Chains A and B, each alone.
Chain A
Amino acid sequence: MKIEILGTGCPKCKLLEENAKKAIAESGKKAELVKVTEIGDIVSYGVMSTPAIVIDGKVKSYGKVASVEEIKGWI
Chain B
Amino acid sequence: MMDKKDLKILAIIIATFGIFYFVPENSEWFNNSAVSGLNLLNEYAKQHVLTCLVPALFIAGAIVVLIRKDKVLRYLGSGAKKYVSYSIASVSGSILAVCSCTILPLFAGIRKRGAGLGPAITFLFSGPAINIAAIFLTMSVLGVKIGIARIIAAVALSILVGVTMAVLFREKTDDGELLIEEEKGKDLSYLTIGLFFALMVGMLIVNGLQISRLIRNIVMVIMAFLVIVLVIVKFSREIRESWLSETWNFSKMILPLLFIGVFVAGFIMPLLPEKVIYGLVGQNTVLGNLAASIFGAFMYFSTLTEIPILQALMSKGMHEGPALALLLAGPSLSLPNMLVVRRVLGNAKTLVYVGLVIAYSTTAGLIFGGII
- Residues of A with Cβ closer than 8 Å to B? 8-10, 39-40, 42-50, 59, 62-63
Indicate whether B112 reaches chain A with its CB closer than 8 angstroms: yes
Q: How long is the Cα–Cα vector from A43 to B101 in the complex, in angstroms?
A: 14
Instruction: Enumerate chain B residues within 8 angstroms of A63, measured Cβ to Cβ.
Output: 69, 181
Stretch of B143-151, B171-179, B193-201, B301-309 lying at the A interface? B171-179
Q: How long is the Cα–Cα vector from A15 to B214 in the complex, in angstroms?
A: 47
Contact (Cβ within 8 A) A46 B344: no
Tell me, rounded to whole Å, the shortest Cβ–Cβ distance linking B114 to chain A.
8
Contact with A along B86-128 (1 / 0, CB 8 A): 0000000000000101101110111011000000000000000
Question: What 9 A-B pairs are tightest by C-beta distance, nearest first?
Answer: A48-B109, A10-B101, A46-B179, A39-B108, A43-B108, A43-B112, A50-B105, A48-B106, A46-B178
Residue in chain B with minimal CB distance to A45? B179
Contact of A49 among B106, B113, B176 (CB under 8 A): B106
Residue in chain A with minimal CB distance to B97? A49
Q: Is the interface of B mostly helix, strand, loop or mixed?
A: helix
Indicate whether B135 reaches chain A with its CB closer than 8 angstroms: no
* Size bin of chain B's contact surface: 20 to 34
Contact (Cβ within 8 A) A47 B104: no
Tell me, rounded to whole Å, the shortest Cβ–Cβ distance linking B371 to chain A.
39
Instruction: Enumerate chain A residues within 8 angstroms of B155, measured Cβ to Cβ.
Output: none
Contact of A47 among B99, B110, B179 (CB under 8 A): B179
Indicate whether B73 reaches chain A with its CB closer than 8 angstroms: yes
A-B contacts besides A47-B109, A50-B102, 19 pairs, CB < 8 Å: A8-B101, A10-B102, A39-B105, A39-B108, A40-B108, A40-B344, A44-B174, A46-B113, A46-B177, A47-B105, A48-B106, A48-B108, A48-B110, A48-B178, A49-B69, A49-B102, A50-B105, A59-B179, A62-B181
- Residues of B with Cβ closer than 8 Å to A? 69, 73, 99, 101-102, 104-106, 108-110, 112-113, 174, 176-179, 181, 343-344
Tell me, rounded to whole Å, the shortest Cβ–Cβ distance linking B48 to chain A.
28
Instruction: Enumerate chain A residues within 8 angstroms of B110, measured Cβ to Cβ.
Output: 48
Residue in chain B with minimal CB distance to A59? B179
Q: How long is the Cα–Cα vector from A42 to B191 in the complex, in angstroms?
A: 37
Contact of A39 among B73, B99, B176, B344 (CB under 8 A): B344
Q: How long is the Cα–Cα vector from A48 to B177 in the complex, in angstroms?
A: 11
Tell me, rounded to whole Å, the shortest Cβ–Cβ distance linking B366 to chain A.
35
Q: How long is the Cα–Cα vector from A7 to B188 in the complex, in angstroms?
A: 32
Contact of A42 among B108, B176, B177, B181 (CB under 8 A): B108
| 27 pairs from A and B in contact (CB 8 Å cutoff) | A8-B101, A8-B105, A10-B102, A39-B104, A39-B105, A39-B108, A39-B343, A39-B344, A40-B344, A43-B109, A44-B174, A45-B179, A46-B109, A46-B113, A46-B177, A46-B179, A47-B105, A47-B179, A48-B110, A49-B102, A49-B105, A49-B106, A50-B102, A50-B105, A62-B179, A62-B181, A63-B181
Tell me, rounded to whole Å, the shortest Cβ–Cβ distance linking B76 to chain A.
9
Q: How long is the Cα–Cα vector from A38 to B102 in the complex, in angstroms?
A: 14
Instruction: Enumerate chain B residues within 8 angstroms of A42, measured Cβ to Cβ.
Output: 105, 108
Tell me, rounded to whole Å, the shortest Cβ–Cβ distance linking A25 to chain B.
21
Tell me, rounded to whole Å, the shortest Cβ–Cβ distance linking A46 to chain B.
4
Q: How long is the Cα–Cα vector from A48 to B181 in the complex, in angstroms?
A: 11
Residue in chain A with minimal CB distance to B99? A10
Q: How long is the Cα–Cα vector from A62 to B101 in the complex, in angstroms?
A: 14
Instruction: Enumerate chain A residues within 8 angstroms of B112, measured Cβ to Cβ.
Output: 40, 43-44
Instruction: Specify which of B105, B110, B181 lies most central, judged by the most chain A CB atoms within 10 Å of its CB.
Output: B105
Q: How long is the Cα–Cα vector from A42 to B344 in the complex, in angstroms?
A: 12
Instruction: Enumerate chain A residues within 8 angstroms of B99, measured Cβ to Cβ.
Output: 10
Contact (Cβ within 8 A) A43 B177: no
Q: How long is the Cα–Cα vector from A62 to B180 in the complex, in angstroms?
A: 10
Instruction: Enumerate chain B residues within 8 angstroms of A48, measured Cβ to Cβ.
Output: 73, 105-106, 108-110, 178-179
Residue in chain B with minimal CB distance to A13? B101
Residue in chain B with minimal CB distance to A9? B101
Tell me, rounded to whole Å, the shortest Cβ–Cβ distance linking B252 to chain A.
11
